Structure 1
């Protein structure tokens, strides 16, 4: 009879531990789901920023090419396209760059 009581007590403890483990796993899964949502939002934001930066880069490249075409009037060795620290495109004499 002592063995039966011990088995029943062990089974109750095991069921309780399984419930606690399941509760813990559910909580962990909920935390992971929240983290995944946050990371997906960050990925979307960074993707938009990268696309914006790429478009801006293309715009600057196109502007540079247009400016270079305007400079191609036979005196290109005396002038070139420059970029200021503020991001402005301008024409400079080659001697000014030295």
Structure 2
């Protein structure tokens, strides 16, 4: 689309016109996945009262501790829990012990 603006009349009687091209907007489709709560567990212990922590035996699971109560959660398919950044991350970034 073009936007045309009339600026005024010049000294010679001509009309000065400025044309500006307006950029087209692009729609971006986003998708999100969330982790699934597997269980509230008494088999695992929180290392701190609140926060996200690696599961002790499965890299595709993690602990979401609230008030020292651990909730075991599962990362979406083809991801693992990256304890360094506290999120489920792509398997391409997983350590060899998780692949």
**Higher relative helix content:** 1
Compare CA radii of gyration and give the structure with the larger one. 1
**Higher relative strand content:** 2
Pairwise same-fold verdict (TM > 0.5) = no
Q: TM-score range by the shorter chain?
A: 0.3 to 0.5
- Relative to the length of structure 2, the TM-score reads 0.33
